[in-house]
Amino acid sequence: MQNITEAHRYIDNAKEILRDKAQKDDKYYKDPKYVKMAGNTAYNGVLVALDGLLGVKKKGRKSLEWYKEELGKLDKKIGNAFSIVYNTLHLDMGYDGLLSVKIANIGFEEAEVIINWVEAKQEVTIH
């Protein structure tokens, strides 16, 4: 369950980056540099959780298609959440620096759904 603790730490760090550095102004952030940093941090947190569940041991990342295929074998709905996380946290925030607070919140909500799902799956496996 170390991966779950680590995944939550990534999410907390990403939220802290947005809160302390991205300069929220009503419905938008002002600084795309920190939005990018937060998006990538949160997305990596999701991957840490998934890697623990899926048994990824080596350095480096599997492809997006690999994650989608593996998740599809376990739960199609979680695959939808992963697509949202990929698009919002990784692409919209991490690459594009999209300044929307609403989009960031959606990405974080779906990230938490995935991490909590992984945690529940691992608890079932342990018991």
Positive or negative CA dihedral for 107, 108, 113, 115? positive
Nearest in space to 105 (alpha carbons), one of 96, 118, 93: 93
pLDDT digits (tens, 9 = 90+) for 22-32: 999 999 999 99
Distance of CA 90 to the CA centre of its chain: 8
Find tokens 């907390």 and name the residue. Answer: 12
Rounded Cα–Cα distance for residues 120 and 53 (Å): 10
For residue range 14-57, list pLDDT tens digits in order: 999 999 999 999 999 999 999 999 999 999 999 999 999 998 88
Distance CA 108, CA 1 (A): 20
Domains of the chain as residue ranges with CATH: 2-126 (1.20.120.330)
